[in-house]
């Protein structure tokens, strides 16, 4: 994606549930909750607003709460996704 953006100078619209991916690939991020945009900005600015060492996961939790609609904690879900990606 970075190569396409550099080669063609075009905007790429990416949707992902993997906030680490958004942090590394995106110049701007919009956090959505229940179909509404609730926060926008650069990953750096969004994280800095929460303090040193904040992640986009922290930003998501700050704006949406730690509990998903299913009642499961967002942190647990994010941890499971990271492990699944790591293990293949």
Residue 34 belongs to what H/E stretch?
none
> Is pLDDT at 10 greater than 80 in this prediction?
yes
CB 42 within 8 A of CB 29: yes
Tell whether pTM > 0.75: no
Residue 32 sits at the vertex; the CA angle it makes with 29 and 36, to the nearest 5 degrees, is 125
Higher pLDDT, 43 or 1: 43
Q: Which two tokens stand for residue 83?
A: 């492990």
Buried/exposed 78-88: b ≥16 CB within 10 Å, e otherwise? beeeeeeeeee
Tens of pLDDT, residues 32-86 = 988 899 999 999 999 999 998 999 989 998 998 866 666 667 677 777 777 787 7
């Amino acid at each position: 994606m970075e190569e396409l953006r550099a080669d063609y100078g075009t905007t790429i619209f990416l949707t992902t549930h993997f906030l680490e991916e958004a942090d590394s690939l995106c110049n701007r991020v919009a956090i959505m909750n229940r179909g509404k945009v609730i926060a926008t900005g650069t990953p750096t600015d969004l994280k800095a607003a929460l303090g040193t060492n904040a992640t986009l996961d922290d930003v998501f939790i700050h704006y949406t709460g730690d509990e998903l609609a299913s009642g499961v904690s967002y942190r647990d879900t994010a941890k499971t996704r990271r492990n699944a990606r790591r293990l293949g």
